[in-house]
Amino acid sequence: MLRKTLILTLLLALLTACAPQTAPTTAPVEQSMTYTDSLGRTVTLEATPQRIVSLAPSNTEILFAVGAGSQVVGRDEFSDYPPEASSIDSIGGSFGEYNAEAILALEPDLVLAAEINPPELVQQLEDLGLTVYYLGNPTSLEGMYTNLETVAQLTGHDASGLVDSLKARVAAVDEKIMPLSSRIPVFYEIDATDPSKPWTYGPGTFGDLLISRAGGYNIGSIASDPYPQISIEQVVAANPSVIILGDSMWGVTADSVKERPGWETIPAVQSDSIFPFDDNLVSRPGPRLVDGLEQLAKLLRPGLFE
């Protein structure tokens, strides 16, 4: 009898050891993460956000670039790049008017704001119970890389490969431009609603930075305002060899510039060196700034980039 009991015990032990182990009844909990945004606010994410609303075109471009495009459920009215962003629900933003109800309805676990969004909007959304991270504008390409890394970290992605690729492209431009001893005078037009006094990029803007890094001298850099209006007299006196039309998207053409009274004496007009340009590559502080740098360098120094 004792022998039979021993055999049964051994068999039960063997069967228990060979049986498949059941999964734990509770899944591991993601550890919450705390960040400090560009307003100095503490932002806590309980888990990697899967429903993100972007309040600015630059943020939308960054989100897609770092691999978080599929997590974006809402975007501002002007987010049109990459093309697939246009199919995402719009939450307004035209003339600064955002639809808070539409944002709430999307049930986001992260709202990504930018410097074009006033702090009052951030506070309003936070008061509604939403988690908002405010991403400030960079002041250099290096700062833009940091923003990419920040958004990648927030959304559970790795931007190191993207950043390395962008740095390599910028270095390739720098290698050709930096040895040059002279700079080409450039007038970059943002808005010529008043053709006698058009708006341009002044000091401290990416327009100024990219023109300089591309081998040009931005004639608007002498202004004290980052977005100054320059009179026709000032443009003529600066003798720009190249005119770049960032307002070409609004219908401004090289021919219309040539017809402006007083512009006929400008070297860029006389040599037909007037070029349309996608201003989004300059005005949106995201990864396409590198595209803007490359295109400006090719316009200003075509012989170096054949």
Per-residue pLDDT of 103-118, as tens digits, reads 999 999 999 999 999 9
Q: 24 pLDDT band (50/70/90 cuts)?
A: very low
Q: Report the pLDDT value the prediction gives residue 87, as an integer from 0 to 100.
A: 96
Q: Are residues 202 and 287 in the same domain?
A: yes
23 has a pLDDT exceeding 80:
no
Residue 46 inside a domain? The answer is yes
Q: Report the pLDDT value the prediction gives residue 90, as an integer from 0 to 100.
A: 97
Q: Are residues 186 and 152 in the same domain?
A: no
Which secondary structure element, helix H or strand E, spans residue 61, and what is its range?
Answer: helix 57-65
Strand partners, 243: 187, 274
Q: Report the pLDDT value the prediction gives residue 4, as an integer from 0 to 100.
A: 40
More confident residue, 275 or 9: 275
High-pLDDT (> 90) share of the chain, %: 87
**The two three-digit tokens of residue 292, written as one number:** 């803007």
Specify whether the backbone of 265 is left (phi greater than 0), alpha (psi in -120 to 50) or beta: alpha
Q: Are residues 125 and 231 in the same domain?
A: no
- Mean pLDDT taken over the chain: 90
Q: Are residues 248 and 291 in the same domain?
A: yes
21 has a pLDDT exceeding 90:
no
Residue found by looking up tokens 């410097």 in the block: 115
Q: Report the pLDDT value the prediction gives residue 291, as an integer from 0 to 100.
A: 98
Residue 8 inside a domain? The answer is no
Q: Are residues 69 and 137 in the same domain?
A: yes
Closest CA to 125 of 150, 160, 98, 146: 98
Q: Report the pLDDT value the prediction gives residue 30, as an integer from 0 to 100.
A: 61
Report how far apart, in Å, the C-alpha atoms of 100 and of each of 97, 105, 143, 303 are. 9, 9, 30, 51
Q: Report the pLDDT value the prediction gives residue 92, as an integer from 0 to 100.
A: 95
Strand partners, 184: 216
| pLDDT tens per residue across span 78-96 | 999 999 999 999 999 977 7
DSSP designation for 147: H
**3-state secondary structure at position 15:** helix
Q: What is the CATH number of the domain that holds 42?
A: 3.40.50.1980
Residues with Cβ within 8 Å of 121's Cβ and at least 6 positions away in sequence, in order, are 55, 98, 113
| pLDDT tens per residue across span 8-20 | 333 333 333 333 3
304 has a pLDDT exceeding 70:
yes
Q: What mean pLDDT do residues 176-187 have?
A: 96
Q: 205 pLDDT band (50/70/90 cuts)?
A: very high
Q: Are residues 139 and 206 in the same domain?
A: no
Q: 232 pLDDT band (50/70/90 cuts)?
A: very high
Residue 283 inside a domain? The answer is yes
Number of domains in the chain: 2
Domain that holds residue 131: 33-158
29 has a pLDDT exceeding 90:
no
Q: Are residues 182 and 154 in the same domain?
A: no
Q: Report the pLDDT value the prediction gives residue 16, as an integer from 0 to 100.
A: 37
Q: Are residues 125 and 234 in the same domain?
A: no
Q: Report the pLDDT value the prediction gives residue 140, as an integer from 0 to 100.
A: 96
